[in-house]
Structure formats: structure tokens, C-alpha cells
Structure 1
Amino acid sequence: MKYVALILFFISTSLSFSQSESKHKCISEFDRFFDKFSVNPDYQKAKILYPLKLYYIYNLTTGEQKTKVFNNYKEWKFRDFSKDNLGITEDKKEFKVTIKTIKNKKLYKLKGVDSTVDITYWFEKIKDCWYLTRINDKSRL
């Protein structure tokens, strides 16, 4: 009986994973992936590699860092990336966005123009699919 329950559990888990993957198909071109990732909450949550680690500065004096871990999609809050380059008004940009390529990774860097915001989102291409894999927050708030 235990074995039947165990087998049923694995089958249901694999079915839900394959349904999730088919619902959110891979986009191998980063720009197209990021356009969808930026504005679609369900797609964004599906394209994060959990557990996702956010490294941030805990103590401004010593520079001591801490880590916050998002273990699953329920812990992640949607982040709209679509307005990062716009700022409050079109003539005043609040952030400068740069994207750096390192092999199969894209580093999306968000830097405050008149603030200490300094956040890097690490995206990695794994088996022809892009995922958010890490966040480094060096902001001094």
C-alpha cells in the first residue's frame, strides 16, 4: 500500500511539473523572454529557479551581508521590470539599466541615478530556457 501511494505521489508531482512547463514554454532569445518575464506574474514565478537567494547589505558600517531565500513561488512577490527605464517623468530617469552577458548568463543591473539603488538580477540559460537564479542588492538605503 505504501508503494502505491508513493508511486501515485510521484506521478502527480511529475504531471503538475510538466503542465507548468508546457503552460510556460521556454523562450530561448533573452530579449523576448525578458519582455514576457517583466510583465507577466505567472510566467515570472514559473521562470525563477527556486530556492532563489537574495544577497543584501545588512550592516552599512561593516558591509556585512545577509541572505534572504525564496523557497517557492508563493514566497515571491511579482516585480514589474517594464518601467525601470522610464522613471517618474520621461525627462527625469530614476534608474540606469545595463545588461551584461557572461557566457550563458545575463546580468540585469539596476542603478539609481540620484539614489544608492544598486541591484543585479542574475538570469541563466539552462537547457535552452532562461531563469532568474540570483539577486545581489548592494543598495545603501
Structure 2
Amino acid sequence: MTKIKLTVFVLIMLGASSCKQESNNKDASSSTIGSPVLSEKVANQKEEKEQIIKPIEIPKDCNQTFETFFERFAKDSVFQKNRVKYPMKWFYYENSYDELKIDVMENGKFYYIDFTEDKDAMNKESGKYTVSIDKKSNHVDYLLKGYDNGLMLTYKFNLIDGCWYLVEILDEST
């Protein structure tokens, strides 16, 4: 009988001590990563080590040339989704080519666009297209023009607070 009481007591103590643990990272946001950092305290001439979670800011990688920005934007899906200015307008023709339709892309609805094949687009067997870049000081139009296939896309990028963002897509393909 005493073994059962002792076992129940130990289980209750284990359960109670595990319920008292709280998250140390209440202030972390989506743009931070928790990183354990050890700090030392001296109390009563004894050293104790305690683990503290401190948020670390993820660098925005701003103040880049468009070329440096676009190299990463073209192949990094997470970076690309973070460098779209939401809500983003996507203009396109639907069934009739008389008027442009507009889709508004909210955060979370944008999908990754693979720009890595653009440099070899004219070497393809079919679906060939050319790429041209029209640069202004704070604005870049990245144009894809099809070679006998009706493709005509313009990706518009703006420099906002020192960072490049995709702000609009114009799809005039037929």
C-alpha cells in the first residue's frame, strides 16, 4: 500500500512541476528568431547558468543594387514572398482581350515565380521568350516577350525605403 502511495505522490509531483514551465519567448515576432544565449549570474559566491531566449532581427538585405536583389529574388521562394508589396495588383486579360481584369494578391496567396530559367529562355525548343529590363532610378520593369507565342509579361519593381519590392504584374499575353 505504501508503494502505491509513493508512486502516486511521485507522479503528482512530476505532473505539477512540468505544468509550471512557461515559454520564455513571448516577445518574438514573425520577423525574429529565438536564439538561446547563456548569461552568467553570481549569487552567494556560486555560479549559475541560465538560458535566456533573445530575439534576433533577420536582416532585410536592403541597400542593394537591383541586380543583386533580383539574383536572390529569382531563386529564393521565402525571400521572394517577403519582397512582394501586399496587396499587389495583377492585371491580366481573361477570355476577351478588350479589358484588363485585376486580381489583388494578399499576403499568403502569392505563389513563387521561378525566374531562374529566364537566361536560357531563347534556347528552349518551344515557348521561347526574351527578357528585357527597363531601369529608372527607383523603378524597374522586368519584361518577358514571347517569340511567336503571345507571351507578354511585365513585373514592376519599386525601391521602397531602400529595399526592392515587386509591386505589380501586368500580363498582356494573348
Which of the five TM-score ranges fits, normalised by the shorter chain?
0.7 to 0.9
Q: Which residue of 2 aligns with 1:16?
A: 29
Secondary structure (helix, strand or coil) at the match of 2:91 reads strand
| Deviation, structure 1 residue 75 | 0.5
| Deviation, structure 1 residue 82 | 1.0
Aligned partner letter, 2:92: Y
Q: Which residue of 2 aligns with 1:70?
A: 105
Q: Which residue of 1 aligns with 2:41?
A: none
Q: Which residue of 1 aligns with 2:145?
A: 111
Q: Which residue of 2 aligns with 1:102?
A: 136
Q: Is the contact between residue 98 and residue 110 of structure 1 (CA under 8 Å) also seen in structure 2? A: yes
In structure 2, relative to structure 1, the CA distance for the partners of 1:65 and 1:46 (3 Å cut) is same
Gaps of 5+ in 1: 1-10
Correspondences of 1:23-38 after superposition (within 5 Å): 23-38=59-74
**% identity of equivalent residues:** 33
Alignment of 1:42 with 2:78, yes or no, is: yes
Give aligned pairs, total: 126
Superposition RMSD on alpha carbons, in Å? 2.5
- TM-score (structure 2 length as normaliser): 0.64
- TM-score (structure 1 length as normaliser): 0.78
| Deviation, structure 1 residue 94 | 0.8
- Structure 1 residue runs of 4+, over 3 Å off? 88-93
Q: Give the structure with the larger strand fraction.
A: 2
CA deviations on 1:45-77 (whole Å, 9 max, x unpaired) are 00000001100112435x2111111110x2111
Aligned partner letter, 2:88: L
Gaps of 5+ in 2: 1-25, 34-56
| Deviation, structure 1 residue 85 | 2.6
Q: Is the contact between residue 122 and residue 129 of structure 2 (CA under 8 Å) also seen in structure 1? A: no
